[in-house]
Structure 1
Amino acid sequence: MTASAVRPARTGAVRHSVTRLSAVAGPLGRAGAVLLLVTLGALRLPQLMPGSPAVAALGPTATPEQVAAFEAGLGLHDDVLTAARHWLGAALHGDLGHSLTSGAAVTAELADRIPVTLELFLAGQLVALCIAVPVALLSAWKPGGPLDRVATAGAFVWLAVPGFVLGLLLIWIAAVQLRILPATGWTPFTDDPVENLRHLVLPALTLGLTEAAVFTRTLRGQLLDTLDQTYIAAARSRGMGTGRLLLRRALRPSSLPLVTLIGIGIGTSLGGSVLVETLFAVPGVGSFAAGAISSRDFPVIQAVVVISATAVVAATFVVDLLYRTLDPRIAHDHR
């Protein structure tokens, strides 16, 4: 190969590498900006709360001098940039502060609670997917049929039922009437796997049944669009079986919105599972945040807000990568 032929090849490779780097650097830069803004907003929470957090921590009998010393010790008198620099510096070393109510390290509390919330979230998503995927596939294959009409009506009913109503109904059936599952409480998996699963069933069903309605409607609509594509008709004309056609040709390109819902849900689950965790007395991040809000424990609230935002940003980045894997056309469009 001549030098004149090698030069364009090297130039093309360099351009391709630069394009790939820019495709990654852009989202990372935006993610960093979002996290910085969220951190600044979270650190302004004590100033936005009515009254003084020091009074909530020290009690109504605290003197003005004690309140001032408490606020100065926590850096509440610093400007937001100075407070952010100090907080981020400590956070990078694993120090997220201490709870104002219990005095425990927030990092240690979250380390115990995040696995619980993630386990509950994953179990709920598994329930939702086991229901939504087969129902959506069968409904989309014969739209307007009996199964499709029942699934559509059922999805609307589930969407109209509040989560706490569904949770109370499950408690009444499984814990009060049948007495086969505990109503509340939690057992770590490392202590007793069987009891852990027994305590997991009701909250996971509450989350999963609610999510299943959303997943079914989303996936069914996307499948209907996919099944109208030309390559699906060509596969049918070649005699491809129904199961293989749905699972290998239609499901993969139709699952992109579903991947988005699951990916974003991973991030929001850290702070968004307050209702279910409180209802079933699950010691996760949601119940931890709910207790911190009621007691004005702002170090805990700040940590939960920032960590939840970090999880959402990370999940969004991973979802973007999964998009390129599930549908190579997306990666082609970005080049």
Structure 2
Amino acid sequence: MLKLILVRIARMLATLLAVSAITFFMLKLLPGDPINQIVPLEEIDNLELVAAKEREYNLHGSSIEQYGRWLWGAVQGDLGKAITQPKRVSEIIDDRWTITAQLALVSVFFSVLIALPIGIFSAYRQGRAEDKALSAALQTGLSIPNFVIGVFLILIFAENLKWLPATGWTRLSDSVSGNLKGVLLPALALSLANMAVFARLIRADMISTLQENYILSAKAKGMSDRFILFRHALRPSSLSVVTVIALNLGALLGGTVVIEQLFAIGGLGRQLYDAILRRDYFVVQGITVVIASVYVVLNTFVDFIYLAIDPRIRGRRH
């Protein structure tokens, strides 16, 4: 067991190293020199100033040397200095990540909250009219982009009913009620498509589980359908869902760009979008690496959850 955990952690660290290297060197391949954005055009011939700025922004030496220095700084929590803002990249991320994280968490919460009863009910009523109607509705939900859903939510709940704000974000520390009102619409816009995926997955796994011999034995013993569904079938049917939820949460951290733009939310997604437009390579690099790192860590965390949920996995050789 301990050996398996250590192997997973080693894989995670190797993946993080590969992600950071690929991101760093891919940005190096982009046209243009960052120093041209840092040094004013009229001072570009001032070699002393250029050399000083290159040292300040870790642009001196070979690309491998630059990556080595950047990696050493990243290990210590320093992701470099932003070009277009008088801040360190780590400060920018620290100021924005909680917004995107809350948006992603609330979105996943809504997805699971809606998908779980739909998936269980659809599996229980497999092949019947209710199941077919729900399957059609879920397929429709998968085909609608989240920004289209966001526009409709704004029109209905913000413009017509005036229940919730259309744009903006209030931090939880400033106002709990304001924060909850601000997070509802963007989180719902993000959650509906994911809800359809979760519900279909729960349905498929639940149908497979309900055909297992121990479920049939439980039915033969006269146990109620509700007891069988929630006591015997739900847990083994949750393995695939746990994986998708965790990976989806990691993907949402990088997939909120459009929704954050639509609802004017100043999270990591919007900051990444602005950094790309301004060609602030260091901010793009820092945010990309952080999002990828969260994704990889969550993937490893899912492996550990598997070990806890399904003891059979512990006996497998990896």
> Which of these residues, 256, 273, 287, is aligned with residue 304 of structure 1?
287
Cα shift readout 1:208-228 (whole Å, capped 9, x = no counterpart): 111101111111111111111
Cα distance in 2, alignment partners of residues 293 and 159 from structure 1:
29
Amino acid at match of 2:160: Q
Distance in 2 (alpha carbons) for counterparts of 1:292 and 1:333: 45
Give the SS at the match of 1:277: helix
Report the alpha carbon displacement of residue 92 of structure 1 after superposing the two structures with TM: 2.6
**Superposition map of 1:1-335 within 5 A:** 20-58=1-39, 63-65=44-46, 68-69=50-51, 70-71=53-54, 73-334=56-317
Q: 1:170 to 1:57 in 2, by over 3 A?
A: farther
Residue range with higher mean Cα deviation, 49-58 or 163-172: 49-58
Question: Using a 3 Å threshold, how does the CA distance of structure 1 residues 62 and 249 change in structure 2: closer, same or farther?
Answer: farther
Between 183-192 and 21-30, the greater mean CA deviation after superposition:
21-30
CA apart distance, 1:59: 5.9
Aligned to 1:12: none
Unaligned runs of 5+ in 2: none
Alpha-carbon distance in structure 2 between the residues aligned to 1:115 and 1:243: 39
- Cα deviations by residue, 1:284-322 (Å, 9 ceiling, x for unpaired): 111111111111111111111211222112111110111
SS state at 1:102 partner: coil
Could you say which structure has the larger radius of gyration? Answer: 1
RMSD: 1.9
Q: Find the aligned partners of 2:189 and 2:82 in 1 and give their Cα distance.
A: 30
- In the alignment, the residues of structure 1 paired with residue 244 and residue 219 of structure 2 have an alpha-carbon distance, to the nearest angstrom, of 30
Q: Is the 1:46–1:76 Cα contact (8 Å) retained in structure 2?
A: no
Amino acid at match of 1:25: L
For residue 119 of structure 1, give the secondary structure of its aligned residue in structure 2: helix
Q: Per-residue CA shift, 1:122-173, capped at 9, x if unaligned? A: 1111111111100000100111112211110011111111111111111111
**Which amino acid letter does the alignment assign opposite residue 241 of structure 1?**
S
* TM-score, length basis structure 1: 0.89
The number of equivalent residue pairs is 316
Tell whether the 8 Å contact from 1:175 to 1:181 is kept in structure 2 after alignment.
Answer: yes
Q: Secondary structure at the match of 1:179?
A: coil
Task: Quote the Cα distance in structure 2 between the aligned partners of 1:154 and 1:47.
Answer: 45
Shift in Å, 1:65: 4.4
TM (normalized to structure 2)?
0.93
Cα distance in 2 between the residues matched to 1:90 and 1:236 = 60
8 Å CA contact retained: 2:149, 2:189: yes
The answer on whether the counterparts of 2:146 and 2:189 sit within 8 Å (CA) in structure 1 is yes
1:179 aligned partner, one-letter code: K
**2:235 aligned counterpart, secondary structure:** helix
Structure 1 spans left out of the alignment, 5+ residues: 1-19
